[in-house]
Structures are given as structure tokens and as C-alpha cells.
Amino acid sequence: MNKLIFVSGGVCSSLGKGVAASSIGALLESRGLNVRMVKCDPYINVDAGTMSPYQHGEVYVTDDGAETDLDLGNYARFTKGRLSRANSVTTGQVYESVIRKEREGKYLGKCVQVIPHITDEIKNRILAVTTEDSDTDVVIIEIGGTVGDIESIPFLEAARQLIHEHGKANAISVHLTLIPEVASGELKTKPTQHSVKSMQETGIQPDILICRSPVMLDESTRRKIAQFTNVDIDAVFTSPTIDTTIYQIPIIFFEQGLDQVILRKMGVESRHAKMKPWHSLMERFRAREGKVRIGIVGKYMALHDTYTSLYEALFHASLECGTEVEFVKIDSSSLEDKEDAETILGEKAPGGGVDGILVPGGFGQRGTNGMVKTVEWARKNNKPYLGICLGMQIMVIEWARNVLGWTDADSTEFSPDTKHPVVSLLVEQINVKNYGGTMRLGASETVNEEGSHIISAYGMNRIMERHRHRYEFSNQYRDDFLKSGLKLAAFTPDGALVECTEWPHSGEARHPWGVAVQFHPEYKSKPMAAAPLFRDFIAAAHREKIKKN
């Protein structure tokens, strides 16, 4: 029987439950176990795809095209286990399928209820992951939200039943709480005591506590927590606030023996832990010299979570290139006037100028003219540029307006009646009416052209990357762009869709490194293997910065 680890949270949200669950996964993998991760999200949306980035943060896309919670991105960065649609369970999906079965008469006249029908559906979805791959040893199930929330009750009830059915040796509960510090500098354990009480009310006794705290908890605080919560003192751990990187958390947990306690509780023989990759990562982190400043000019800049994978990919690239990366976050709406780009991005800007520009994904017209101004500035000032999804569409629009001289050129997403629709709806999207799950989604193959930056980044001509968009480069203009010097650097295998554009490598319009792609390379970036385009982008920004000085 596979082992189950349920990870829940209490006191408040944003304690780093996803990173804690992922770090446990990483530690168990380092001991040779095969781990799969599941996220249960109590919201009623079927998936994260229709939610505003400001409500929800990033939508993480899997190979099979599921639009999931950003925690799946954490799982992908910390662990190796396969992630697909099956690894993201929401209340919306659960109810959708229970109601469908009810309409099909599958419940044979029964009254359909939260217990057992909703909870059974949740349990079946979790159990499906445990059997999907025959070599799975452990499944870690993170329950979103905070204990005490009305929405999470069915998920906790499903967890309680599974723990009971599997037995304590096969299923355990890890609970994450907050130990706040009050003005006097004292650490307070009361919220943790209450949080564990709420867990106990659901019928789950946490086996392990991870306490988020400004500092490492001392023995007497841990003893006090243990006493009030029925948790063994050696099972009370700290997740201290750190100023390094989230990738240090597996090491911090390892040093406290968290993985050993988990293995002991589940009766798994302890194997030697291979922590070297995490230690070398921290060595690379500390050895970085100098820094490049990257202007990220997008629509949803006020919330870091909106572009989690993107910021992580930049960080992975910084580890690989041996230089720090400073994020200069700029709301593209602030760049509407002509001189704004130079004032905000140029050398005289507060904090100094930026060494590279990244325009990330986004939807809707707001702020897109500011992005066009930014991209024009990057092109004319030889600043390395990476455009992602919307960032590629903006590269195309900028070129059309300023090089081809079609001043009204635009995407039909932003100006439906433009005379030069250089970006337009994908053919398959024309009759699509619903918003949820209907974009071009998930992994597909891209073929890179010889002599392009993209082929040298990947070192191969056929790559698989993930998409999430409705609009594309308009093929009717291919010749105009090619003749004027824009490189069409990658295509779908049938040649039908342009997947990458690059600024000229040679001649008068030569630019050091300007690459934009219709897919999202950030989703597959790993701390120990940065996404190739992010790596080469940071390397180019670094190179150009040194050249200038």
C-alpha cells in the first residue's frame, strides 16, 4: 500500500504550505522514494483558469493542458514526480462529476450527500493518483485553505477517512501553523494550540507540526507546543523566515530531521539521503557575483504570485549564470507617453537603468501600448529582450508599427477593427464561446530554425513547451515581416503557427539578443536546470552590461 501524507495549514494563509509540502517531497525523493503530489483546492471554480491573476495568482499549466493552482509549479520545481490534470482536485471538479453521475442515475435512487458522495469522490481522486504509476511510494496531498474554513471541511473529512482506513503507519497528517512574535519579542504558541484543536475537531490528530516562525524555536517552546497538542516533541519543527531562497527549506528541514521522523512514523526503512544537489544549489546561490537588473513590464505587477514561475525561472537562470538578478517590476500602464520608456527604464531612472526587458503573458488591452513603447526602447537601445506569449505578440505589433510603418497595427484582441491585424484569433478559437479550459493549452511540439537564438539555447531543433493563449501571429503577413528583417525562428511541426520571433542577428538592424516565444518556457524551469531561454536571456543581459562598462 502507498503511503499518504496530508499537509494542512492553520492560523492564516500564505505560510508557505506549498513550499513546505514540496520540500517534504524533495526530502523523500532524496531518500530514494518515488513521490507524487496532489493539491486539493476548496474553491468552487472547476480550475484556476477563469480567475483573475489578482484573485488567484499564477495559473500553472501542466503538459496535458490543465490550468491549475500555482502550487503545482512549486511541486514541479522541487520534485520529479509526474504532474497532470489528476494532481489538481477542486471542489468545482468534485461537484461537477457528482452532479453528472446523479443525472446519469448512477446513485441508484439514493439521496446524494456531502458524506459519503462528495467525500468518496475526493477520496477516489486522491487514490487514483496513488495507483496511476506502479512505482509510486508516497503521495503528498496538500489541502488548500486554512483549517476552520467552511469550504475545506469535505477535504479534511476525506483525509480523516483515508487516514483511518489506511492506518497510522500508512497515512499521516502534517500541519503547518504560525508562531507570531509580539512587540516584546516573545513568540506566541497560542494560535498553534488553537489550530491543532480545530484539526482535532475534524477528527485528525496531526502527527507532525511545522511552525512558521521568525526564528528557530527553542526546545522549551517546542516542548510547550508538544504538551498542548499531543504531538511528540521531536515532531515539532520550525520553518524559519529566511532571507536566502525557498530552495534552502529542504536543507533546513533535513537538518532538523523532519524526513527521518516521517519515515519512522510510516515504518519506512531509512535510506541514505542524497542532499548534494540542494547543497550545491546553495553554493551556487552564494557564489553569484554582480547583478543584472531586469525590467519586467507587465499588467499584473502588484502581486508577486501572478508571475511566480517567471520569477523563479529568472532566479534559476541567475544561479546558472553566476550573477544576481534584480527584478524591476513596472506596470506597463505607467508607460503611455513617448518619453516614459527612457525615464523609467534608462540610465537616469531611479536605481539606475535596466540591463534587459521581459514582457510576460497577459490578457486584455489595458497597458499594451506601454508594452509596445517598452519593446521599442529595448530594440533601439540594444537591450536584451525576452517576450513570453503576450510578449511575443507585442514584439510583432511593435515591429509592424515602427519598422513596417503600419501605425494602427494591433492584435484583434485589443483592436478588433484594425486594418493591420498582425496578431489574430487562432482559427480553432473562432467558434469558442465558453471561457473555461478553452484556450490552446498544454504541451505541444515546436521546431526551431537553424541559425536562431532559440535553437542555440535549447541545443536541439525539436522541443516541447506549454501554451496558454487564443491569439497568434497572423500568417498573411509572414512575407512582410521576413522581408523587413524580423526572424521567424520557430514553428509548429506542420509549419502552420509561428512560435518564436527574433530581432535581426546581423546587418544594420542587428540586435544583441531579442527573442519572443508564443509558449511559456517558465513552467518547465527547474532550480537545477534553468529554462534555456531564461538562461540565455540573463547571460545576454550580463554580457551587454559588461560590454557597456
Catalytic center residues? 389, 520, 522
Q: How far is the CB of 409 from ligand GLN (least distance, A)?
A: 16
* Residue closer to ligand GLN (CB basis): 319 or 390: 390
Q: Is 468 in the site for ligand GLN (CB under 6 A)?
A: yes
Distances in Å between the Cα of 204 and the Cα atoms of 8, 174, 199, 548 are 11, 10, 6, 61
Closest CA to 181 of 153, 152, 212: 212
Q: Is 60 in the site for ligand GLN (CB under 6 A)?
A: no
Q: Which residues of 411-438 are buried (b: 16+ CB within 10 A; e: fewer)?
A: bebbbeebebbbbbbbeeeeeeeeeeee
DSSP conformational letter for 255 = H
Out of 37, 138, 389, 498, the only residue in the binding site for ligand GLN (CB under 6 A) is: 389
Q: Nearest 5 degrees, angle CA 533-CA 538-CA 542?
A: 145
Residue length of the chain: 549
The rounded distance, in Å, linking the Cα atoms of 212 and 208 is 13
CB of 392 to ligand GLN, least distance (A): 8
Q: Which of residues 260-319 bind ligand GLN (CB under 6 A)?
A: none
Residue 364 vs 493, nearer CB to ligand GLN = 364
Report the chain's terminal Cα–Cα distance, integer Å.
61
Q: Which three cell numbers stand for residue 407?
A: 501605425
Choice between 236 and 390, CB closer to ligand GLN? 390
The candidate with the shortest Cα–Cα distance to 473, out of 436, 451, 502, is: 502
How many C-beta neighbours within 10 Å does residue 53 have? Answer: 20
Closest residue to ligand GLN using C-beta atoms: 361
Residue 10 or 361 with smaller CB distance to ligand GLN: 361
Q: Does 56 sit near ligand GLN (CB under 6 A)?
A: no
Binding mask 346-365 for ligand GLN (x = CB under 6 A): ---------------xxx--
Spatial neighbors of 20 by CB under 8 A, at least 6 apart, are: 7, 174, 176, 210, 239, 249, 253
User: Which residue, 68 or 248, has its beta carbon nearer to ligand GLN?
Assistant: 68
412 binds ligand GLN (CB under 6 A): no
371 touches ligand GLN by CB under 6 A: no
Runs of H (alpha helix) within 235-302: 249-255, 258-265, 276-287
Considering the complex, state which of residue 284 and residue 470 has its C-beta at the smaller distance from ligand GLN.
Answer: 470
Stretch that binds ligand GLN, among 88-96, 369-377, 445-453, 467-475 (CB under 6 A): 467-475
Residue 429 binds to ligand GLN (criterion: CB under 6 A): no
Q: Report the nearest approach of ligand GLN to the CB of residue 439 (Å).
A: 6
Residue placing its CB nearer to ligand GLN in the complex, 95 or 363: 363
Contact by Cβ (8 Å): 309, 521: no
Task: Pick from 157, 413, 465, 544 the residue near ligand GLN by CB under 6 A.
Answer: 413
Q: Which is nearer to ligand GLN, 250 or 362 (CB)?
A: 362
Please choose, out of 132-140, 314-322, 445-453, 466-474, the segment that lies near ligand GLN by the rule CB under 6 A.
Answer: 466-474
Q: How far is the CB of 518 from ligand GLN (least distance, A)?
A: 8
Residue 367 or residue 527: which is nearer to ligand GLN going by CB? 367
Distance CA 381, CA 354 (A): 11
C-alpha cell at 19: 513550499
Contact window for ligand GLN (CB under 6 A) among 190-198, 348-356, 368-376, 469-477: 469-477
Residues 6+ positions from 311 with CB-CB distance below 8 Å: 304, 327
CB 43 within 8 A of CB 92: yes
The answer to whether residue 471 forms part of the interface with ligand GLN (CB under 6 A) is: yes
Quick note: the x/- pattern for ligand GLN over 180-209, rule CB under 6 A, is: ------------------------------
Using an 8 Å Cβ cutoff, are 305 and 57 in contact? yes
Site size for ligand GLN (CB under 6 A): 10
CB of 437 to ligand GLN, least distance (A): 14
Q: Copy the grid coordinates of residue 385.
A: 529582450
Interaction of residue 470 with ligand GLN, rule CB under 6 A: yes
- The answer to whether the peptide bond before residue 116 is cis (omega within 30 degrees of 0) is yes
Candidates 154-162, 181-189, 318-326, 462-470; binding stretch for ligand GLN (CB under 6 A): 462-470
Contact 478, 488 (CB under 8 A): yes
Find the shortest distance in angstroms from Cβ 364 to ligand GLN.
7
Give the three-state DSSP class for 362.
coil
Strands 236-240 and 171-178, sheet pairing? unpaired
If one asks whether residue 469 binds ligand GLN (CB under 6 A), the answer comes out as yes
Smallest separation, CB 306 to ligand GLN (Å)? 12
Bridge partners, 171 (sequence order): 4
Stretch that binds ligand GLN, among 22-30, 148-156, 308-316, 464-472 (CB under 6 A): 464-472
390 touches ligand GLN by CB under 6 A = yes
**Beta-bridge mates of residue 326:** 293
> Counting beta carbons within 10 angstroms of the beta carbon of residue 187, is it exposed (0 to 12), middle (13 to 18) or buried (19 or more)?
middle
Given the complex with ligand GLN, which of 70 and 266 has the nearer CB atom? 70
**Which residues here bind ligand GLN, judged by CB under 6 A?**
361-363, 389-390, 413, 468-471
